[in-house]
Structure 1
Amino acid sequence: MTEQSDASRVRIEPWTEADLPLLRRTNAPEMTAHLGGPETEEKLLVRHRRYVEWAGTGTGRRFSIVLVPEREAVGSIGYSERVWRGETVYETGWKVLPAYQGRGIATAAAAAAVAAARADGRRRHLHAFPSVSNAASNAICRRLGFSLMGECDFEFPPGSFMRSNDWRLEL
């Protein structure tokens, strides 16, 4: 028996102060295995502040991924500026809580984030850098029409390097 897709019930909503508990839930070992492991509470609070403040800067956006009509937050997604190979681009990344994975939620949220980055109109390219071993995130990039530019060594979070795929989407 396959689970019903929840993709049609997905909304992305701007990150707010109220999303700190969600950030803590996505900081679990199983959620950060491809990202260098969980961050300290201090680093989480800095990240949360950055996410809240991005909306007014024009340098990025963070969203909570919400299922409707329940209004249940099940993950996060966003994009932010990064200089990559001499070009200022947007970088995107997402996390969906384990109980909600495999239902099309991340793909639907990523499509909505792509639309937001495109509507922003400030950058030509959106990149995603999932670990080469993260099959699910690489599949999302493929489904959404990103072009695989190749493998690279990528630093995320700061101080932690991983072998990643560089996926690029024309905005």
Structure 2
Amino acid sequence: MLLRDVEYGDIDAYVRMRCDPAMMAELGGPLPREGMEAKVRRDVRRAEAGTDWTKMILPDEAEPDVVAGTVALWSHGADAERISEIGWMVLPEFQGRGLGKQGVRMLLELARDDGRWGLIHAFPATANAPSNGICRTLGFRFLDEEEVPFAGRVLRTNHWAIDPRTDLVRDRRPADPRA
């Protein structure tokens, strides 16, 4: 698996993730198709500037055009209340393979090594068992249930936080005895 920065050609993946009723069920429903080009352009600009990290999840390095989803890290809020937030989406045909968890882990490791993000928050919907499971298994701490704004909607979420410098759980799989 590989993470790469979002590119202008990722519009189709954005549409599949953000405009599909099933993909957006936990996020208040699909977003309108119009505006996706602007969203991709904005994300590319922010990735190029280094202010946000929007990474596309590529399940196979040998197939760089196959996108399984996205994982992103960004900061928002007023100076005194500024927080770093992580979010992810995995397309249906790639779900259940651990790609979301692996992508989140990889981005948290990059954030740990970068050192500027501090405490990182995640806000999966309370009913989103797979995303809450990712938070739990990677070492996020559950803080509370909260209502958070998203795309003009208010969502009921679980608020998780992790300091990747100290809290990121190492992979719990047994070591390969052949190694």
Q: Give the TM interval when normalised to the shorter protein.
A: 0.7 to 0.9
TM-score (norm 2): 0.84
Structure number with the higher strand fraction is: 1
- Alpha-carbon spacing, 1:129–1:136, altered in 2? closer, same or farther (3 Å): same
Instruction: Assess, with a 3 A threshold, how the Cα gap between structure 1 residues 53 and 123 changes in structure 2: closer, same or farther.
Output: same
Distance 1:78 1:56, change over 3 A: same
Matched, 1:32 2:30: no
Q: Which residue of 2 aligns with 1:49?
A: 41
Aligned-pair CA distance for 1:24: 1.0
Choose 19-28 or 39-48, whichever is displaced more: 39-48
Amino acid at match of 1:51: D
Distance 1:84 1:140, change over 3 A: farther
Q: Deviations over 1:54-81 (max 9, x none)?
A: 1233321101100112332111111111
Higher-Rg structure is 2
Unmatched segments (≥5 aa) in structure 1: 1-9
- 1:31 and 1:49, CA in 2 relative to 1: closer, same or farther beyond 3 A? same
Q: Which residue of 2 aligns with 1:16?
A: 7
Unpaired runs of 5+ residues, structure 2, are: 165-179
Distance, in Å, in 2 between the alignment partners of 1:124 and 1:42 is 34
> Partners of 2:28 and 2:82 in 1: how far apart?
25
Q: Is the 8 A contact 1:88 1:123 kept in 2?
A: no
- Describe the superposition over 1:6-57 as per-residue Cα deviations: whole angstroms up to 9, x where unpaired: xxxx211111111111111112111001112111123322221121111233
Query: 1:118 is matched by which residue type in structure 2?
Result: R
Identical-pair percentage: 34
1:108-129 CA-to-partner distances (Å, cap 9, x unmatched) read 0010111222233222111110
Q: Distance in 2 between matches of 1:86 and 1:139?
A: 30
CA RMSD of aligned residues (A): 1.7
AA at the equivalent of 1:24: V
2:98 corresponding residue in structure 1: 104
Q: Single out whichever of 63-72 and 29-38 deviates more from structure 2.
A: 63-72
Report the equivalent of 2:140. 146
Q: Secondary structure at the match of 2:107?
A: helix
After TM superposition, give the deviation of residue 146 of structure 1 in Å. Answer: 0.4
Alpha-carbon distance in structure 1 between the residues aligned to 2:105 and 2:125: 20
Separation in 2, partners of 1:18, 1:67: 17
1:151-166 equivalences under 5 Å are 151-157=145-151, 159-166=152-159
1:118-150, CA deviations, whole angstroms, 9 ceiling, x for partnerless residues?
233222111110000101100000111000011
- The aligned length equals 161
**C-alpha deviation, 1:86, in angstroms:** 4.2
